[in-house]
Chain A
């Protein structure tokens, strides 16, 4: 929802902190996930992730979540799928070139990043989307990455 996601970007510092705690909890649950099997966990987790992140951030489930590096704003809401910053078409009022009624996603992302502890992560260069990962759980992927089962970018080790 547009209003909720804009509210979330204004409270990016809180969501950054919450996300960190949540991620820690998920990593602790790795042995459980592993026993059940990540393959079996995938579908239900992705479904929950879609509802939660969809409500809060309007996320598009690209599978390689960048929220904490993009001001807690999902860059995939940009009509041009810009993952590294705003395009040159941002209107004088800060709205989108393609959707004039929508605030530029990157304007919100930059403002959100300024409130965050690790807001300078917005300067990291994000890799292009791997379209095979669309719709898959970025949460589980992050856990697998943290425990060393998967490398950056989603390839299984």
Chain B
């Protein structure tokens, strides 16, 4: 008897058309508007700290992403965070970055994560080491997101390592990829998404969206290519704390596009933090109306406790209550 909810049962056959026994996949395939949120792993060995950070999402989030050294900063590993979370029943998205590990290490972690109940894996290239707290580290980049997707798909569907060696029980996982509809070269971005989907991506979590025009143009092309029918697209959102924070993110965090109108709104507000949440809620509501979007991915770095309120006020759950520990599994 296993204690996880996203059960890794290689003996139980999957439902037709499914890749995992995970709840996120079930939800998405049933056509629900899904909500995922990012948990930033602690700089600590305390399991309780991980649970504390997960608990703030209780009842509002369908799956929790555990980042893998995000921003090239050192934290608890994503495989360990996911293992802790699945123990108490949370659905997880294990992020795997190519920056720190080669294909041998990554494949080992994927087996380990799946054994611990990870049902979703997000395949990332990773930020460059220059952006983090260890700029002197060796950037590995043995693989990149697309080749990582293809490798994991073969592990799952063909039960083999990249070497060709047999895996006796393959990981049953839904594979995901990131997308950035807001960074140049803008024309190439939808085609880039098509490549990732062709390589194996089944769900997509995008970079922060603060520009509905760019998102709508991107999604127009995505629909023309029929990509929204081949993968579940979750749009990234997050509250900005102040105009200054937004300015800082815009100049220092690669790939985050924040238009002037957003910064002006924050600068002109009496309570900037409140306005930041308001903007985030409005974004979610507008995103929900875009055809082909399957959900939102909330990245509320250092404002995680605001996620519940944002989701509640946005109304996107439409009365649905995501599972939390204590609910029947």
| A88 in complex: contacting residue of B141, B191, B255, CB < 8 Å | B255
Q: Nearest chain A CB to B185's CB is how many angstroms away?
A: 5
In the complex the two chains form, is A88's CB within 8 Å of B146's CB? no
- Which residues of chain A have C-beta atoms less than 8 A from B98's C-beta? 80
| B254 in complex: contacting residue of A97, A107, A128, A131, CB < 8 Å | A97
- Which residues of chain B have C-beta atoms less than 8 A from A57's C-beta? none
A97's nearest neighbour on chain B, judged by CB, is B254
Q: Nearest chain B CB to A133's CB is how many angstroms away?
A: 14
- Docked Cα-Cα span, A131 to B104, in Å, equals 13
A92's nearest neighbour on chain B, judged by CB, is B257
Of the listed residues A85, A97, A111, the one surrounded by the most CB atoms of chain B closer than 10 A to its CB is A85
Which residues of B (72-125) have their CB < 8 Å from a CB of A?
A: 98-99, 103, 125
In the complex the two chains form, is B147's CB within 8 Å of A84's CB? yes
In the complex the two chains form, is A82's CB within 8 Å of B128's CB? no
- Which residues of chain A have C-beta atoms less than 8 A from B187's C-beta? 110
| B183 in complex: contacting residue of A80, A86, A110, CB < 8 Å | A86
In the complex the two chains form, is B255's CB within 8 Å of A107's CB? no
In the complex the two chains form, is B184's CB within 8 Å of A90's CB? yes
Q: Nearest chain A CB to B148's CB is how many angstroms away?
A: 8
A80's nearest neighbour on chain B, judged by CB, is B141
Tell me whether B139 is interfacial, beta carbon within 8 Å. yes
Return the CB mask of B124-155 against A: 1 if under 8 Å, else 0: 01111011000000010111111100110000
In the complex the two chains form, is B146's CB within 8 Å of A85's CB? yes
In the complex the two chains form, is B179's CB within 8 Å of A88's CB? yes
- Docked Cα-Cα span, A111 to B242, in Å, equals 37
Of B5-13, B168-176, B192-200, B315-323, the segment with at least 4 beta carbons within 8 Å of chain A is B192-200
In the complex the two chains form, is B144's CB within 8 Å of A83's CB? yes
Q: How many interface residues does chain A have, given as a range?
A: 20 to 34
How many residues of B are in contact with the other chain, CB < 8 A? 39
In the complex the two chains form, is A97's CB within 8 Å of B255's CB? yes
- Docked Cα-Cα span, A3 to B98, in Å, equals 30
- Docked Cα-Cα span, A126 to B145, in Å, equals 12
Tell me whether B188 is interfacial, beta carbon within 8 Å. yes
- Which residues of chain A have C-beta atoms less than 8 A from B130's C-beta? 98
**Given that A80-B125, A83-B146, A88-B179 are known contacts, is A111 also in contact with B131, CB under 8 Å in the complex?**
no
In the complex the two chains form, is B141's CB within 8 Å of A81's CB? yes
**Given that A83-B146, A128-B142 are known contacts, is A91 also in contact with B191, CB under 8 Å in the complex?**
no
In the complex the two chains form, is A84's CB within 8 Å of B255's CB? no
In the complex the two chains form, is B131's CB within 8 Å of A97's CB? yes
| B128 in complex: contacting residue of A83, A85, A89, A129, CB < 8 Å | A89
Q: Nearest chain A CB to B186's CB is how many angstroms away?
A: 10
Tell me whether B207 is interfacial, beta carbon within 8 Å. yes
**Given that A86-B192, A125-B195 are known contacts, is A106 also in contact with B185, CB under 8 Å in the complex?**
yes
A125's nearest neighbour on chain B, judged by CB, is B199
| B255 in complex: contacting residue of A89, A126, A127, CB < 8 Å | A89
In the complex the two chains form, is B144's CB within 8 Å of A123's CB? no
In the complex the two chains form, is B146's CB within 8 Å of A94's CB? no
Tell me whether B4 is interfacial, beta carbon within 8 Å. no
- Which residues of chain B have C-beta atoms less than 8 A from A111's C-beta? 185
A79's nearest neighbour on chain B, judged by CB, is B128
- Docked Cα-Cα span, A110 to B178, in Å, equals 19
- Which residues of chain B have C-beta atoms less than 8 A from A93's C-beta? 184
| B143 in complex: contacting residue of A122, A125, A128, CB < 8 Å | A128
Q: Nearest chain A CB to B222's CB is how many angstroms away?
A: 15
Q: Nearest chain B CB to A144's CB is how many angstroms away?
A: 22
**Given that A89-B254, A97-B255 are known contacts, is A82 also in contact with B184, CB under 8 Å in the complex?**
no
The 9 A-B residue pairs with the shortest CB-CB distance in the complex, in nearest-first order? A88-B180, A89-B254, A84-B146, A97-B254, A98-B128, A128-B147, A85-B192, A88-B255, A89-B255
* Cross-chain pairs A/B with CB under 8 angstroms, 9 sampled: A80-B99, A80-B128, A80-B139, A83-B144, A84-B144, A84-B196, A86-B184, A97-B127, A107-B184
A-B contacts besides A110-B188, A127-B147, A128-B151, 12 pairs, CB < 8 Å: A80-B128, A80-B141, A80-B144, A84-B146, A85-B192, A89-B127, A89-B183, A90-B180, A92-B183, A97-B255, A123-B194, A128-B147
